Structure 1
Amino acid sequence: MAERELALRFAAFALGMKAQTGVIDRNDLFSACLMADSVLGKAHPLARALSGFRLQFQRAPHDIDLLKRLGRDLTRYIQTLNLPAPVDAGRKDIHG
C-alpha cells in the first residue's frame, strides 16, 4: 500500500471519529475528498466512501444524529479495509 493511501485511510478514520462526537471540520472533509479523488481516482472504494460521506453530510449538515451514524459507518468501513486478505483467499477447495 502506498504512503498516500495509508495517509488517506488515517484521515478518513479521523473524520469518522470526529463525526461520532457530533463535530466535524468541513475543510478537513473536503480536502480529504479532493485528495482521495486525485491520488486514488474517483472509482477507488475509499474515494467513493469519502464522497458518499460528504454527500450525505451536505444533505443534512445540522443533523447531529445522522452525523454520528455516518461517522460510525465510515470508521467501520475503514476498519474493514485494514483487515488483511487471507493467504488462501484464492483456494477453491476452501472458499468455494
Structure 2
Amino acid sequence: MTILLSFVGIAVAALPDAEHVISQKGRQFRPGAIGLHPGEHITVVNDAADLIHHAYIDASDLTYDSGDQDPGTSAVISFPKGGDFLVLCGIHPKMKLTVHVE
C-alpha cells in the first residue's frame, strides 16, 4: 500500500498545471475571481452566442490585449509573476475578473 501511494504522489507531481478556464457569458467573467501561481495561465472563452468580447490587462508590470473575441473563440493569458491583476472587457466596461497570483 505504501508503494502505491508513493507512486501516485510521483504521478500527481508530474501532471501539467490545471486548466483554468474563464467563461465570458452575457456581460460577466465566470468566475469573477481566481487565484493562480506564477507561470500559470487562464483561457478566456467567449461563451456568449451573440456578443463580442475583448479581454485586456493594463497594469504597470503586465499588459495583455486579446483583440476582439467573436463568440466561440478563446484567448490565453499568462501570468509570469506574482501580483494582483484586473482583467477587463474593452467592450463591456462592467466586466471584471480579479486574478491573484501568489
> Could you tell me the TM-score, scaled by structure 2's length?
0.28
- Give the structure with higher Rg (CA): 2
Structure with the larger helix share: 1
Q: Which has the higher contact order (CA 8 A, sep 6+)?
A: 1
TM-score (norm 1): 0.29
Bigger strand fraction: 2
